[in-house]
């Protein structure tokens, strides 16, 4: 019995680590493509024929378009995935799209801002779409009592994987400072890294069973649209989950905007490329212990209070971002981001997962994905519009404080214990009905 228990525990750990390795895989896109190398390359090379604030604005619009596409796709694809039992298959499809879009960035050179935007949109749709199905697997791979720690483990793996490849890419850029070959090779390295480290989740994580309801149409697309309408009504009856979803929508808008716009904002105000990319690298390694730390903190302080703490730090970052003018200030703000970025997002994901019935995980995570993507639309769009109208993006960085304040207020209305109880009751009802 003891040997079997130890064997089961070993198998459980293997599944958890294989799931977390996908964060290691796709975080290379988040670091090198989304946050560090491509924004600077877009501003200085692809957008070399544009005014600096216009290049920043176009980057904001590009990010907005990509997120808008995923926001509309997420709920219906989530419903289809639950109906057909194809969460892993959809993850693989979107990962392949992201990998191809990323590899195509190799062909972007001076003045090619339009195709840079196009390839980034393809890559970002693949990144965000695969992330939806990765997240939807969390309630299936983690025990209920482990969900905070498993979620933060994923973010810690992501920080380490994304940070290691970013370090290699920075070294490559430093060794080949002339021309555009080094950053273009960095884009290809992300595609290769992403492809290789997606293998563990596809190989070792079991596809959760399909969940079909009596009387549903056998066609998965038609059934998916029917479920989408039903889920939209149904999720409103999970009152605590629904309130949290709106809160997350709001405050994650501010978090996403800082992640996506920080580097190109720094480039606009005159921070050097070495500092910009070096700070992003530092964020990855600062984030590793702090991601685990937030998992520890959630057990002692509570998940909601830990998220409040993170939102308070983000508010301070936004205020001081207005005064950014020197390299050391960018390093300091980057350290603060590293402290809270992974923890705030991991605990948000685990709190949502804990209040989600397992039989509806992809459907409900489709709405989670939709909310996070719509959340990502408003912030970069506001950032872009304010920067274009004012001729500078300094007021843009301050404007996102509103997202942290309103999101935190809405989060205070969430009764997480009630939400978890309702999810467990629904799982028990579904098991009895099955």
Kindly list the distances between the CA atom of residue 323 and the CA atoms of 148, 216, 326, 385, in Å, as whole numbers in the listed order: 35, 57, 9, 20
Q: Is the pTM of this model over 0.85?
A: no
For 290, the enclosing helix (H) or strand (E) is: helix 273-301
Domain 14-201+225-433 in CATH 3.60.15.10? The answer is no
Select from 128, 94, 350, 88 the least CA-distant residue to 208. Answer: 88
Please report, for the chain, the start and end positions of each structural domain, with discontinuous segments joined by +.
Answer: 14-201+225-433
Q: Which of 106, 112, 137, 123 is nearest to 67 (CA)?
A: 123
Radius of gyration of the CA atoms of the chain, in A:
21
Render each residue's pLDDT in the chain as its tens digit; 434 residues: 455 588 888 889 999 999 999 999 999 998 899 878 898 899 889 998 888 778 888 888 888 888 788 777 776 777 677 767 788 998 999 999 999 999 999 999 999 999 999 999 999 999 988 988 888 888 788 887 787 788 888 878 988 899 899 999 988 988 887 889 999 999 999 999 999 999 999 999 988 776 665 566 566 666 666 666 676 677 767 889 889 988 988 998 888 888 777 877 887 788 887 888 788 888 878 888 888 888 888 888 888 999 999 999 999 999 988 898 899 999 999 999 989 988 888 888 889 888 888 777 766 766 676 656 555 677 777 787 887 777 777 888 888 898 999 999 999 999 988 988 888 887 787 767 65
DSSP 179: S
CA 266/CA 36 separation, integer angstroms: 11
Residue 296, pLDDT score: 87
Closest residue by Cα to residue 310 from 284, 291, 282, 332: 291
Closest of 82, 91, 164 to residue 358, by C-alpha: 82
- Cα distance between residue 233 and residue 219, in whole Å: 21
């Amino acid at each position: 019995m003891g040997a079997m228990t130890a064997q089961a525990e070993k198998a459980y750990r293997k599944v958890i680590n294989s799931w977390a390795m996908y964060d290691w895989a796709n975080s290379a896109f988040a670091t090198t493509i989304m946050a560090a190398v491509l924004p600077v390359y877009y501003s200085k090379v692809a957008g070399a024929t544009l005014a600096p604030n216009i290049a920043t604005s176009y980057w904001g619009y590009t990010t907005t378009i990509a997120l808008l596409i995923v926001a509309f796709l997420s709920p219906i694809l989530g419903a289809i995935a639950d109906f057909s039992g194809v969460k892993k298959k959809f993850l693989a499809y979107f990962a392949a799209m992201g990998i191809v879009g990323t590899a195509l960035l190799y062909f972007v050179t001076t003045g090619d801002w339009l195709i840079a935007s196009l390839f980034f949109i393809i890559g970002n749709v693949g990144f965000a779409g695969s992330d939806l199905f990765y997240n939807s697997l969390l309630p299936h791979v983690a025990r209920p009592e482990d969900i905070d720690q498993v979620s933060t483990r994923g973010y810690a793996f992501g920080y380490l994987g994304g940070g290691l490849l970013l370090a290699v890419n920075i070294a490559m850029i430093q060794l080949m400072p002339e021309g555009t070959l080094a950053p273009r090779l960095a884009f290809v390295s992300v595609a290769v890294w992403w492809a290789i480290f997606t293998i563990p989740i596809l190989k070792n994580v079991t596809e959760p069973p399909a969940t079909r309801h009596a009387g549903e149409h056998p066609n998965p697309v038609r059934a998916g649209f029917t479920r989408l309408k039903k889920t939209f009504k149904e999720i409103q009856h999970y009152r605590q989950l629904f309130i949290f979803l709106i809160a997350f929508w709001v405050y994650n808008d501010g978090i996403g905007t800082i992640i996506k716009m920080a580097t190109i904002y720094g480039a606009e105000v005159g921070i050097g490329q070495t500092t910009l990319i070096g700070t992003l690298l530092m964020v990855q390694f600062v984030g590793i212990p702090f991601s685990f730390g937030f998992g520890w903190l959630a057990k002692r302080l509570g998940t909601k209070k830990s998220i409040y703490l993170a939102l308070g730090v983000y508010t301070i970052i936004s205020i001081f971002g207005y005064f950014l003018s020197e390299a050391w200030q960018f390093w300091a703000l980057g350290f603060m981001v590293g402290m809270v970025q992974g923890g705030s997002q991991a605990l948000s994901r685990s709190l949502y997962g804990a209040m989600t019935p397992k039989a509806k995980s992809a459907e409900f995570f489709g709405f989670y994905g939709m909310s996070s993507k719509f959340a990502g639309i408003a912030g970069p769009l506001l950032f872009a519009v304010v920067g274009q109208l004012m001729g500078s993006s300094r007021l843009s960085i301050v404007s996102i404080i509103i997202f942290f304040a309103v999101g935190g207020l809405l989060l205070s209305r969430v009764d997480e214990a009630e939400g978890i109880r309702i999810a467990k009751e629904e799982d028990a009802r579904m098991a009895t009905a099955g």
